[in-house]
Amino acid sequence: MIPLSWYLIFAAALFCTGLFGVLARKNSIAILMGIELMLNSVNVNLVAFWRYRTPETITGQVFAIIVFAVAAAEVAVGLALFISIYRRRNTVVADEINLLKW
């Protein structure tokens, strides 16, 4: 049997890895990949809590599915923004995208 704590520690470590990616990476698309890691670790937590604490109701899995949908929407809009910025400014480095209008 796998203890619940293993899942929680794993998810915390993956979340912190993603957080480091978001804070440290230069390229906007790499930042988006860090956000994906963070969303996934939260999903692992949700499903682990569902399985260990309330397996008779399905709420945890429903929450995870909604997170999937939001993540898909976020990636689609985010990447469209980066491609649009790249076309206008010829860069996707987050430090250089510092003007709201050009």
Partner 1 sequence: MTAVQIIFLLVAAATLGAGLLVVTAHNLIHAALWLVVSLFGIAVLYVLLNAGFLAVAQVVIYIGAIAILVIFAIMLTRKVAADSGPQTNSNWGWGAALAAALFGALFWIFQGWPGINTALQPLSESQDTVVQLGQALLAPDEYLLVFEVASVLLLAALIGSIMIARVRKDS
> Please, which of residues 27-86 interact with partner 1 by CB under 8 A?
27, 29-30, 32-34, 36-37, 40, 43-44, 47-48, 50-53, 55-56, 58-59, 61-62, 64-66, 68-77, 79-84, 86
Bridge partners (DSSP) of residue 93 are: 27
Q: How far is the CB of 89 from partner 1 (least distance, A)?
A: 11
Please work out the total of residues on this chain that contact partner 1, with binding judged by CB under 8 A. 75
- Among 94, 99, 100, 102, indicate the residue that binds partner 1 (CB under 8 A): 94
The candidate with the shortest Cα–Cα distance to 60, out of 40, 38, 39, 45, is 45
| In the complex, minimum distance from the CB of residue 99 to partner 1, in angstroms, rounded to a whole number | 17
Least separation in angstroms between CB 34 and partner 1:
6
We find the least distance from the C-beta atom of residue 97 to partner 1, in angstroms, to be: 11
Q: Tell me if 89 contacts partner 1 by CB under 8 A.
A: no
Q: Tell me how far CA of residue 6 lies from CA of 3, 52, 55, 69, 100, in angstroms.
A: 6, 12, 18, 27, 44
Residues in the chain: 102
Q: What is the DSSP letter of 56?
A: T
Structural contact between residues 22 and 30, judged by C-beta atoms closer than 8 angstroms: no
